[in-house]
Amino acid sequence: MYYTYIIKSSKTDKLYIGQTQDLEKRLIRHNTGQNKSIKDKGPWEVIYSKGFETRSDAIIYELKLKNIKNKIYLLNNLDKI
């Protein structure tokens, strides 16, 4: 199973959208500073995830979410996207 996920920083209120095969391990990597782009911006918490059978489907959904620039619209319409 592959996952597209949204995590939120409790420090900066920023969102990060990504995809992974192991969501728990990925969250640990985010929170221990192993991801350069969001290092020192955590702690992070998962606020949304969706499972997919293939990695390509997870990537397509990740890109679709990343193209939505309005954070409020994104969070309020996840069930419709």
Domain extent at residue 6: 2-80
Q: What is the CATH number of the domain that holds 16?
A: 3.40.1440.10
d(CA 20, CA 5): 8
Give the number of domains in the chain. 1
Give 21-74 as a 3 state SS string.
CCHHHHHHHHHCCCCHHHCCCCCEEEEEEEEECCHHHHHHHHHHHHCCCCHHHH
pTM above threshold 0.85: yes
pLDDT of amino acid 79: 87
What would the pLDDT profile of 29-63 be if each residue is shown by its tens digit?
999 988 777 878 889 999 999 999 999 999 999 99
d(CA 39, CA 31): 8
- Nearest Cα residue to 19 out of 77, 65, 70, 78: 65
d(CA 46, CA 39): 16
